[in-house]
Every structure is written in C-alpha cells, then in structure tokens.
Amino acid sequence: MKAISVRDLVKKFGDLRAVDGISFDVRKGEIFGFLGPNGAGKTTTINILVTLMRPTSGEAYVAGYNVVEEPVKVRERIGIVFQDPSVDRNLTGWENLYIHGLIYGLRGEELRRRIEESLEFAELTKFKDVEVKNYSGGMIRRLEIARGLMHEPEILFLDEPTIGLDPQTRAKIWEYVERLRNEAGVTVFLTTHYIEEAERLCDRVAIIDHGRIVAIGSPDELKQGIGGDVIYVRTGDKSSLMRLVEELQEDGMVLRYRELDGVLALSVNNASRVIPGVFEVANRMGIRIEEIKYTQPSLSDVFLHYTGREIRDEEADWRESVRMRHRVR
Amino acid sequence: MEGEREDEAQGEVIKMNERNIVYAMLYRQLKRYFRARSRVLGTIINPLMFFLFLGMGFSASMRGMSAAIGVDYLAFLAPGIAVMTAFSSSFIGGISVIFDKEFGFLKEVLVAPASRTYAIIGRALGDSITSALQSLLIIALMYVIVPSLRIEGLPFAIAICFITSLMFNSLGIAIASKMRSPEGFQLIVNVLIFPLIFLSGAFYPINNLPDVVKPIFYVNPLTYSVDLTRYFMTGISSLPIYLSLSALLLLTSIFTLLSARVFNRSTLD
C-alpha cells in the first residue's frame, strides 16, 4: 500500500486552477518533496491531503483512506507542520504539547512521557516552561515538528519547513527530518521552494508549476533526465584531443562536444559512468590525460529546463519578505 | 470547510476524544487567562467605575427612588454591575477565535481527529469560567461596600453570571468565526455593548417604563440575567423568576448550538 496516492486532483478557486490535475504516489518510508515556486499549488495540495480543503475533482488517499470520505481516519494518522506557526504563543512549549496530546487522545502517564520525549527530540527541555512567544523561529519549528510527531503519525506533512530560517537552523531542521525518517520510519511529505532542500532531503521530488507536476523522480534521475553532465578533459595537445573525441563519439558515449583552449567539453548523460570509458579509450590510444573534471546540473537547471524560468522569481522573493515580516511580528 | 462534510466526519464516531478535547480547550483558555493579569484587571476596572460613579451619584441625589424600588440604589445597582462584568468580558472573549485564525492555532484544532463541536464547547466553558470569576471578584467587592445584600444568594448569582457568560461567549464566537479582523469584531462589540446594558434594567427598574418600550427589554437576553441576579442578591425582581430562568436557559442553548454550527462550518481561506 502506498502512503499517499493522488489521482487527477483538481482544485479551483473561481477561475483559477490552483491544482490542475495532478497524480502521484508516495511510498511508505520515503521523503517525498514538492518543489516549486510560491503560488505553484503546493500548499493547496497539502491542505487537501490533510483534509482541510475539499478538492474540486479527483481522488486522494492518505494512509489508505479517502481524504473526502473518511477525513477523521486520515487525521488520526498524520502529523502536520504548517507553513506559518500554529502554536499558541501565549503558552509554554510544554503546555502546547500537553494540549496537542490531549486532542489526539493521549492521557495520564503516557501523555507526560511523550511530552518529555518530544521536548528532548526538539532539544527544548530546558525551555519547556518558557512562553513560545519568547522562542526563536528555529525553536518554534522544532517544537512544531516534535508536536507533529508526538502522536506517532504514519505520515508527516511539512509545508515549507525551513522558510525564513537562517542557514544553520535550516541545516538543523534537515537533520531532524532525516533522523525521524531513519529512526522512526515515518513517511515525510514536504513542500519547498529551496533547491538545496529538495536535493539534500528528498528521496523523490515532484517539480510543480502552475498547479501541474512537470517532472517527478529522484534528484539524480531528474538531473540525468535533462541529460546535462559535462566532462572537461585536458590533454597535452590539440590533435590528441581531436583523436580522442572521434573515438569516443564512435563508441556513442558523447552527445555533443566543444573544444576551447585545449580543453574538451563533453556533454554526456551520466558523467560517472562515462569517465571510466574516457580513461579506457585514452589508454588504448596512448593519450595521456592531464586533467579531468565534470559538473552535474542542479535541480535548479532541471526546473529551468521544464518550466523555462528560474524558481526564484522576483515575485516569490517579494512574497517571502512579506511573510518574514509577518512572522517576526 | 464545507459543513456537510464535517457533519459526516462527526458521524464517523469520534471515540475517545470528546472529554479530552473539552478539557484541552478549557485548560488552554484558563492558562491564557491567568497569564494575562493585566487583562483581568482591565475588565474589572470598567464595571467598578460604573458602580462607584453611578452609584454614588444616584444613591445620594435620588433618595425617593430607593423607596420606589424597595432597596437602596447601591443594592439595586450591584447585580446589574455583576452581570455587566460577566457579559462584557465573555462577549469580547470571542475575539480570541479571530486571533487564533491569525496566529495559526485554529488550524491545530481544525486538523485534529476530534469533534469541533466539543472543541468549541470546551473553549466557551473556559472563557465562561474566567468571566464568572471576574463577576465573583466584583460581587465580593460589592458585598463589602453594600452590607445589605443577601449573602445566601451569592452562589446563585454567580451561577447566573456563569450562564450569562456562556450565552454571550457563544454569541461572540459565532460572530467572530465569520470575521477576519479583530478591529471589526471590536466595533460590533462596542456598538452592541451599551444598548444591551442600558436596555436590560441594570441601572434602573423597568416596571415603571411606558409599555411601548417594554418589548425592547424583553427581547434583550441580559434583562433576564439582570433580573435573576437581582432576585438572588436583593430579593426583588421585575419578572417572574421561572420565566426569566426559562428564557435564559433557552437563549443560552440556542447561542451555544449556533456557535458550534458556525464553527463547524468555518473554513480555511
């Protein structure tokens, strides 16, 4: 059984198709990411999956239950960290966890034990009696992730888990997410518009734009899919370079090539597989390679390839700065 | 959130959680209340000023009125002020629903596998307990200032203040669930608060009013609260107490159900 299964999901707001017919599956135990700019439909999709919104059409199953027909069954099996904080700022960390536990049916000793565990996981034990309004952004995020896990959900939803956080805090949150997947085996569904986040965390990524999934796969598959590794080779002289490239082309290993100042740039599908071949051919022909290196395309090249634009447009930056101001209030 | 789906969701047997969520929300409201001590003081100061300034002025200059209403004017005014305290603090308490929307906590409740009806009941209970505590504080002060008040009526007076709080907190929640801005809600509260208090018989007896204006008093839920509280604190009343009690309980049930219904249908936007 899949952790999440979505078929032809559509959500319209008036004339706007915020989610425009998406289908995908999330396997149990994987970290699955939605990568796309703000306004791409990521949060709308999450809202439908966590039963806060009804789809216009299409079907979604979470933990095996239809989100429209059996929302309570779904709610019992998921944990959620929303994009904006949803803690009570006037209560302490401990009190927020206490209320959460009660709402999810925990009581007595069991409840108290889980609160302590959650505080420990979030490294907030020292601050458990401090009102949340005095927490930093990173502390609030950690508290929320721990809270989302407290009732031992099968699937954890993270909507832009590191938006507005500084790089160190972001790295810390990434560690948490990896830890909970590795140690607790929780399936994680996250959305992000940070390339590094998708690349670092996700087993599989769906690139979403204008409410549609334009590509889906592991970060490596996606990068290979646009066929963009480039190998740079330097040998002693130009004639040996030319002989080498002719031979390589005959073997069908090279898509395109360019020669510049005694350096050969080879476009290949998968550099890590081609490089040994390059050495082999050079060896056979008695050509000495003086230098070799390669670059891989990033997910941001993948995004550019499929959508024709950069993921971080000006509008997104503007919205994010507004959001940050909202959060620091 | 479409209402019909929530109804279905609730039909889906929400087992363990009714008691838990009522308690959770009650716990939250109480914790928040006792942490914001300035708010406690703020909501008491207003009624207290009404009591002192109105009471001093009228009891001194209208000695004839005391004879007409059967008790000293301060004793007459005291229950009105007690109800005013409960009413204004519970009604404005609905504003926290809007803050919860704005600061996100509402989502935590909306995605929980628990009944929203019970969530809102827990919340209303919590707010009403704090409002009744405020009334208790005011009433205690008034018992000190006006020794002629009947001490045996105190628990009943508090009970009426609690029911009044439940009624108006529910109304506040119902209105707030439909609104986005705290300012807008505050405006509505401010527009309603004075007419409701002045047209409730809190400050003067309604018996001697011309018949044309009496219906206005009868449609005001506060009239019944004031009359009952006054009955328990002083022994006098303008209406039969069973009529007042029935009206009060009926209206409270209606407003509670209304708030649950509106909250059940409240959506994420």
- A237/A142 Cα distance (integer angstroms): 57
Contact (CB, 8 A) for B194 and B202: no
The pLDDT of A219-224, averaged and rounded, is: 85
Residues of A in Cβ contact (< 8 Å) with B112: 75, 103-104
Q: Give the pLDDT confidence score for residue B53 in this predicted structure.
A: 86
Both structure tokens of A60: 């979604």
* Rounded CA separation A318/B15 (Å): 46
pLDDT at B15: 53
Coil, helix or strand at residue A50 = coil
Query: To the nearest whole number, what is the mean pLDDT of chain A?
Result: 87
Cα A164 vs. chain centroid, distance in angstroms?
A: 16
Interface touch A102/B108, C-beta < 8 Å: no
Euclidean distance between the first and final Cα of chain B, in Å?
9
Cα B236 to Cα B230: distance, rounded to the nearest angstrom: 6
Report the gap between the CA of B123 and the closest CA in chain A (Å).
12
Could you please state the CATH topology (level 3) that the domain comprising A228-296 is classified under.
Alpha-Beta Plaits (3.30.70)
Q: Does B99 touch chain A (CB under 8 A)?
A: no
pLDDT of residue A122: 87
Contacts of B12 (CB under 8 A, 6+ apart): A70, A71, A72, A73
Kindly report the nearest CA distance between residue A87 and chain B, in angstroms. 5
A328 touching B (Cβ < 8 Å): no
Cα R_g (chain A), whole angstroms: 24
C-alpha closest to that of A87 among A31, A39, A146, A29:
A146
Choose among B15, B109, B268: nearest Cβ to A53: B268
User: CA–CA separation, A250 vs A227, rounded Å?
Assistant: 19
The neighbouring-strand residues paired with A5 are A25, A61
- Token pair listed for A20: 């425009």
**pLDDT value of residue B35:** 85
Contact yes or no for B109 and A103 at CB 8 A: yes
Is B104 within 8 Å of chain A by CB? Answer: yes
Q: Please tell me the predicted confidence (pLDDT) of residue A269.
A: 78
Alpha-carbon distance of A312 to A300, in angstroms, equals 9
CB pairs under 8 A between A and B: 90
How many CB atoms neighbour CB A138 within 10 A?
A: 17
Q: What is the pLDDT of residue B11?
A: 46
Q: Do B111 and A68 touch (CB under 8 A)?
A: no
**Per the structure block, which two tokens stand in for A53?**
């919104």
Asked whether the beta carbons of residue B23 and residue A102 sit closer than 8 angstroms, the reply is yes
B215 band by pLDDT with thresholds 50, 70 and 90: confident
Say whether A72 and B27 touch across the interface (CB within 8 A).
Answer: no
A1 touches chain B (CB under 8 A): no
Q: What percent of chain B has pLDDT over 70?
A: 89
Distance from CA of A27 to the nearest CA of B (A): 23
Q: pLDDT (tens digit, 9 = 90+) per residue, B158-211?
A: 999 999 999 999 999 999 988 888 999 999 998 999 899 999 988 888 877 888
How far is it, in rounded angstroms, from Cα A49 to Cα A55?
Answer: 9
> ∠B102-B91-B240 over CA atoms, to 5°?
160
Pairwise CA distance, residues A210 & A239, whole Å: 49
- Of the candidates A171, A193, A135, A188, which has an alpha carbon nearest to the alpha carbon of residue A323? A193
- Nearest chain A alpha carbon to B23: A102
In chain A, % of residues over pLDDT 90: 47
User: Which residue of chain A comes nearest to B106, CA vs CA?
Assistant: A86
CA distances from B189 to A256, B49, B200, B204 (A): 73, 20, 16, 22
How far, in Å, are A5, B79, B131, B143, B197 from residue B226 at the CA level?
58, 6, 15, 17, 9
How far is CA A1 from its chain centroid? 22
Nearest to A103 among B5, B8, B24 (CB): B24
Structural contact between residues B128 and B169, judged by C-beta atoms closer than 8 angstroms = yes
What are the tens digits of pLDDT across the range B90-146?
A: 999 899 889 888 888 888 988 888 888 899 999 999 999 999 999 999 999 899 988
| Domain-wise residue ranges, chain A | 2-77+153-223, 228-296
Task: Select the residue of B27, B28, B104 nearest A86 (Cβ to Cβ).
Answer: B104
Q: Which residues of A touch B32 (CB under 8 A)?
A: 88, 90-91
CB-based contact B35 A103, cutoff 8 Å: no
- Residues contacting residue A294 through CB under 8 Å, at least 6 positions apart: A229, A230, A231, A232, A271, A275
Closest Cα in chain B, distance from residue A135 (Å): 15
Instruction: Check whether A317 has a pLDDT greater than 70.
Output: no
Does CATH number 3.30.1310.10 belong to domain A2-77+153-223?
no
pTM of the model: 0.81
Q: How confident is the model at residue B4 (pLDDT cuts 50, 70, 90)?
A: very low
A2-77+153-223 and A228-296 share one fold: no
| CA B93 – CA B99 distance, rounded (Å) | 11
Q: How far is B139 from chain A (nearest CA, A)?
A: 29
Tell me the pLDDT band of B9, cut-offs 50, 70 and 90: very low
Beta bridge partners of A295: A230
The string of pLDDT tens digits covering residues A111-161 is 999 999 999 988 999 999 999 999 998 899 999 999 998 998 999 999 999
Residue A224, pLDDT score: 78
Residue type present at position A32:
F
| ipTM attached to this prediction | 0.84
Which of A75, A78, A85 is the closest to B104 by Cβ? Answer: A85
pLDDT at B63: 65
According to the model, what pLDDT value does residue B227 have?
Answer: 94
* pLDDT > 70 fraction of chain A, expressed in percent and rounded: 94
For chain B, what is the mean pLDDT? Answer: 85
Residue A137 contacts B, CB cutoff 8 Å: no
- What number of other Cβ atoms are within 10 A of residue A236's Cβ? 12
Q: Which residues of B touch A85 (CB under 8 A)?
A: 103-104
In the prediction, which pLDDT does B184 show? Answer: 93
Cα radius of gyration rounded to whole Å, chain B: 19
Q: How far apart are CA A285 and CA A241, in angstroms?
A: 11
CB distance B5–A71 less than 8 Å?
yes
A89 contacts chain B (CB < 8 A) = yes
Give DSSP secondary structure letters for chain B: --HHHHHHHHHT---THHHHHHHHHHHHHHHHHHH-HHHHHHHHHHHHHIIIIIHHHHHHH-HHHHHHHSS-HHHHHHHHHHHHHHHHHHHHHTHHHHHHHHTSHHHHHHTSSS-HHHHHHHHHHHHHHHHHHHHHHHHHHHHHH-TTS-GGGHHHHHHHHHHHHHHHHHHHHHHHHT---HHHHHHHHHHHHHHHHHTTTSSS-STTS-TTTHHHHHH-HHHHHHHHHHHHHHS--SS-HHHHHHHHHHHHHHHHHHHHHHHHT----
